Amino acid sequence: MTGWTKGAIVVTGGSRGIGAQIARRLAARGVPVCVNHRDSAAEADALADEIVKAGGEVSVVRADIGEEADIVALFEQAESRHGKLYGLVNNAGYVGRAGRRVDAAEAEVLRRSFAVNVIAPFLCAREILRRISTRQGGEGGRIVNISSIAKRTGSPNDWVDYAASKAALDAFTLGLGREVATEGVTVNGVAPGIVDTEIHARSGDPQRMERLSAVVPMKRVGSADDIAATVEWLLLDAPDYIQATTIDVAGGL
């Protein structure tokens, strides 16, 4: 894509995994990207160098999206650096260690899970809507929320809190999409299945992905690019009549 003038897209949790691949794909299409991270500066800077070398436009902004003040600052900096914003990918997510049962739940873990996975997407959407909604004087744009197939499986004996937070995110996608349907903004979601990213190793169960792949009808795990390609399509190519919908990208699960 050449001559893109609609503005930059903010990708939360964009320094690695699915978020990084989304940033790569958008930049390759000529879209300026703001990559957000919380504590992975080295990965974010390396990604930015990669994008710049390939001819793309990118900024990197550190912000803990579990904190409202950081979210406000993220969008202020993104707007300052790129001049105009067009979209948002609510990609950042929080999962604790695998194998946690509800009878061992900790309030602090639950608070963090819902702060990052539910409250942050609300607040990030608030900030982008104030800039792109035609009701607010903007020119329109697109929002994509990254959900999870866990919303349907419930992740028993593992991540029930995470699954519950993603079910809430799907409800948010539906409600917000309908709320802004006449304001030039599309709101949709993508729900990955079992995807080959570092999140499994960081959860304390590096064999989890291989073990669970057997239940996928396609008998393989997905890649970050499987998800990123779907997000790219929703942001740049999908008809705007697709609204308030979450697409499962899960190999048939």
Q: What is the pLDDT of residues 160-215, one digit of tens each?
A: 999 999 999 999 999 999 999 999 999 999 999 999 887 655 656 667 777 778 88
Q: Evaluate whether residue 115 is within a structural domain.
A: yes
Q: Evaluate whether residue 2 is within a structural domain.
A: no
Q: Evaluate whether residue 120 is within a structural domain.
A: yes
Neighbours of 32 (CB within 10 A): 23
In this predicted structure, what is the pLDDT of residue 200?
58
Q: Evaluate whether residue 158 is within a structural domain.
A: yes
Q: Evaluate whether residue 143 is within a structural domain.
A: yes
Range of the domain at 186: 8-249
Q: Evaluate whether residue 1 is within a structural domain.
A: no
Q: Evaluate whether residue 230 is within a structural domain.
A: yes
Point out the catalytic residue in the list 86, 94, 162, 241.
162
In this predicted structure, what is the pLDDT of residue 97?
79
Residue 1 has pLDDT above 60, yes or no: no
In this predicted structure, what is the pLDDT of residue 207?
72
In this predicted structure, what is the pLDDT of residue 96?
79
- Rounded to the nearest integer, the mean pLDDT of the chain is 94
Residue 61: which residues within 8 A CB-CB, separation 6 or more? 34, 35, 36, 37, 73, 74, 77, 78, 81
pLDDT tens-place string over residues 116-163: 999 999 999 999 999 999 999 999 999 999 999 999 999 999 899 999
- Residue pair 127/226 in contact by the 8 Å Cβ criterion: no
Q: Extract the runs of DSSP E, i.e. beta strands, from the chain.
A: 8-11, 33-37, 58-62, 85-90, 141-146, 185-192, 246-249
Provide the pLDDT confidence category of residue 41 given band limits of 50, 70 and 90. very high
Task: Indicate the SS3 state at residue 60.
Answer: strand
Share of the chain above pLDDT 90, in %: 86
Q: What is the total count of domains within the chain?
A: 1
Query: Which of the two residues, 100 and 50, has the higher pLDDT score?
Result: 50
Torsion region of 59: left, alpha or beta (phi above 0 gives left; psi -120 to 50 gives alpha): beta
Q: Evaluate whether residue 178 is within a structural domain.
A: yes
Active site residue 162: yes
pTM, entire model? 0.95
Tokens in use for 100?
């946690």
In this predicted structure, what is the pLDDT of residue 3?
84
Domain harbouring 178, CATH code: 3.40.50.720
Provide the pLDDT confidence category of residue 79 given band limits of 50, 70 and 90. very high
Tokens in use for 154?
């419930």
